[in-house]
Amino acid sequence: MRGGEINRVKRHVLRQAVADNLDTIRGLPPRGLRPGRRFVRLFLRRAPLVIIPLILAGFAFITSTGVTRPAKAVPAPATPKAPQIRLTRASMTPMLMTDTLEPVSASAFPLSVHRVVLDAGHGGTDPGASSISNVSEKEITLDIEKRLSALLRKNGFEVVATRDDDRLIPLRERARLANGSSSDIFVSIHVNSIPHPSNHGVQTYYLGPTNDPTLTRLAAAENRTSGYALADLRKLLDRVYADVRRDESQRLANAVQLQMFSGLRGVDPGLENWGVRRAPFIVLVATEMPAILAEVGCLSNEREAEMLRSGAYREQIAQALFHGIHAYASANDAPQRKGT
Amino acid sequence: MSTESEILPEILHVGIDLGTSRSAISASNGERFVVDSFVGWPADMVAKKVLKRDVLIGHEAVANRTMLDLHRPLERGLLKEGSDKDVEAVRELLKHLLRLVGVSSNGKIESSNVRAVVGVPAAALRTNKQYLRNSMKGIVDSLMIVSEPFAVAYGLNALLHTMIIDIGAGTTDFCVMKGRYPGEEDQRTLTIAGDSLDTQLLKLIEERYPQANVTIFMVREWKEKHSFVGDPPKRVLVTAPVKGVPTELDITNEMKTACETLLPPTVETMLDLLSRVEPEFQERVRGNIILSGGGGLIRNLAHSLEDALKQVGGGKVTHMQDPVFVGSDGGLALALDAPDEDWEKLTA
């Protein structure tokens, strides 16, 4: 580079360095990943889901109440009038603003599941949890992901894997890949490790706040390399809680947890059901589709660590996860789901 | 003749490489210092009487560690959170660095304005930066925090089609410079670095010589003198007490094994970052890889990385002859180049 060009580049990067520092001082998240921009994109993608039913409902309402018809004398109905709802501009506007969007029941929009993102936790230089016998989480999650992927493909699903070999993919990269793949659900596979080696169980997380200090610590550890400040996360979460995908994520988590526990309890009678929990893991926060994180076992328990070494047990875990995803997808494909 | 009130405050620009193992400072008055990132307070009244000091920093703290409540306030290149003592330790360390370059003992130069650029690992979170910013309140007047490899790149004018690999004690940082301020996608941080190498080397020596009395401090010193990858340039012979008797130990194989633990993750990350560079610029970046930080001095490391680059078309890896100050010098260059109006916005 010539001297003049170097100076121009230096001025440019220096301006950006100062801007980055000012963002830090103001507590803003990294540029390009601002919640506003992400949620605008998310809103634009989801807007038809809200607007089309709204227009249809409005049209039906207008038709039924005859608002647009010319005024003419109509005999009063004999039956008592229901309280009249006026569809005004003021009442419509909030429906279109994500800031004040009331929680929308996901059941209003039964969507099919065609494409599934599978995320094998950890990898490369990040082994995740390890057992005393040196089985690492990254190997187990990758193997289960491959088995589950085969099962899903065999049954007509499309699968996108965040990693298919032993390498480290940053959490944001995983979320970015998932968001760019137009997938319908996101399933992150992990293996637990807890301070009490005698206990072991299965557990499924979906996005949400938690008051449990253990979960907060766990999420903080998993999120360490994410690049978000706590304040940024808070803002992201506040927006996400009202999002339709939280409910869908919970339903998916319920389906997977049920199948995991019932499917694995048969081969491991000591397995505990640690249930469905909420936690702010980055991969759940940053993905834009219903997302769960399944802890499919517990490496701190030596007996289970031994089982997790075996291909047969991993296959059973993959089967259980498949049945959970399939149950969720089948419920979505049904024309009328419970509660609609 | 101007009255005292009309005299503009003297401005001192400093670049600081706040490292897990060592911290370096370069100042606009020409002073440069490096200290071990250790801070210790006398453990009791007796120690205080012997040491005649309230706080010891750097090499002095390490040398007198048996009498001190010793703190290493940085972990993986970042401030440890949760302990007031560690926050206090990092403040003491920063004040000490500034004192060395001429700032008075109360932490401020009279009638002066200290503008500091501090380098942190590439993957530092905004919370980490905020935490550092809070810790520096009252010590400097204005503060800019940048990623350490970026500071290195800036100091070397290596801002376009260059990759910096900065191997420190706590972290190994990678940064591809594309003529813009590096974003997350241009940078990586590994926690496999000098410290993990020390731990591995200590473990291997203890396994081979279980009777030898070896500490992590001794291991660190040996590593700094003899580290290598590939073929050993000569046998690595060190002296350590075995059952109280100074004994010569051959640690050639242990040194090689420990140092080579750095290679696979470094190669993997380097190639991964290269693969994300636009194809037309990959060859230029491959030809401009710069090794900095203490780890850059590991013998044959640059050569081994060049070997790894052969599988993707070859490249050139250069190591810095003076890795100690390359980060702080880059920080100082940034501090001097930033205009006054920007510094006014970056008040600490």
Residues of A in contact with B272 (CB under 8 A): 167
Task: Give the residue ranges of DSSP H helices in B190-251.
Answer: 194-208, 216-226
> In this structure, are residues A164 and A143 in contact, taking their beta carbons and an 8 Å threshold?
no
Tell me the average pLDDT across B58-77: 81
> Do A64 and A170 belong to one domain?
no
Least confident of A40-44, A163-167, A275-279, B96-100: A40-44
Q: What is the ipTM of this complex?
A: 0.81
Residues of B in contact with A20 (CB under 8 A): 146, 181
What's the rounded Cα separation, in Å, for the pair B151 and B165? 12
φ and ψ of B45, to 5 deg: -65, -35
Domain region containing A194 = 113-333
Q: Distance of CA A46 to CAs A53, A117, A245, A283, Å? A: 12, 19, 11, 20
Over the stretch B288-342, which tens digit does the pLDDT of each residue have? 999 988 888 899 999 999 999 998 899 999 988 778 889 999 999 999 999 888 8
What's the rounded Cα separation, in Å, for the pair B275 and B176? 11
- Whether the per-residue pLDDT at A40 is higher than 60: the answer is no
Over the stretch A106-124, which tens digit does the pLDDT of each residue have? 444 444 788 999 999 988 8
Please indicate whether, in this complex, the C-beta atoms of B338 and A14 are within 8 angstroms of each other: yes
B196-260: CATH, from 1.10.3720.10, 3.40.50.1370, 3.30.1360.40, 3.30.420.40: 3.30.420.40
Q: Measured between CA atoms, how close is B270 to chain A, in angstroms? A: 12
Domain boundaries, chain B: 4-153+326-345, 158-192+261-323, 196-260
Architecture of domain B4-153+326-345: 2-Layer Sandwich (3.30)
φ and ψ of B5, to 5 deg: -70, -20
Taking the alpha carbons of B106, B108, B109, B110 in that order, is the dihedral positive or negative?
negative
Closest partner CB to A16 (pick from B180, B184, B346): B180
- CATH number of the domain within which A166 lies: 3.40.630.40
Of the three residues A56, A72, A99, the one that is the final residue of a domain is: A99
Same fold, B158-192+261-323 and B196-260: yes
> Do A80 and A168 belong to one domain?
no
A55 Cβ contact list (under 8 Å, min separation 6): none
Chain mean pLDDT for chain A: 71
Confidence of residue A227 (pLDDT cuts 50, 70, 90): very low
Taking the alpha carbons of A34, B277, B153, B179 in that order, is the dihedral positive or negative?
negative
Q: Give this prediction's pTM.
A: 0.54
Over the stretch A56-114, which tens digit does the pLDDT of each residue have? 555 454 444 443 333 333 333 333 333 333 333 333 333 333 333 344 444 444 447 88
φ and ψ of B128, to 5 deg: -60, -40
In a domain, A202, yes or no: yes
Please indicate whether, in this complex, the C-beta atoms of B180 and A10 are within 8 angstroms of each other: no
- Whether the per-residue pLDDT at B205 is higher than 80: the answer is yes
Tell me the average pLDDT across A36-44: 49
Buried/exposed B195-218: b ≥16 CB within 10 Å, e otherwise: bbbbebbbebbeeebeebebeeeb
The number of folded domains in chain A is 2
φ and ψ of A191, to 5 deg: -125, 135
Over the stretch A187-198, which tens digit does the pLDDT of each residue have? 999 998 887 788
Kindly report the CATH number that applies to the domain delimited by B158-192+261-323: 3.30.420.40
Tell me which residues of chain A, numbers 145 to 184, contact chain B at a CB-CB cutoff of 8 Å: 167-168, 170, 172
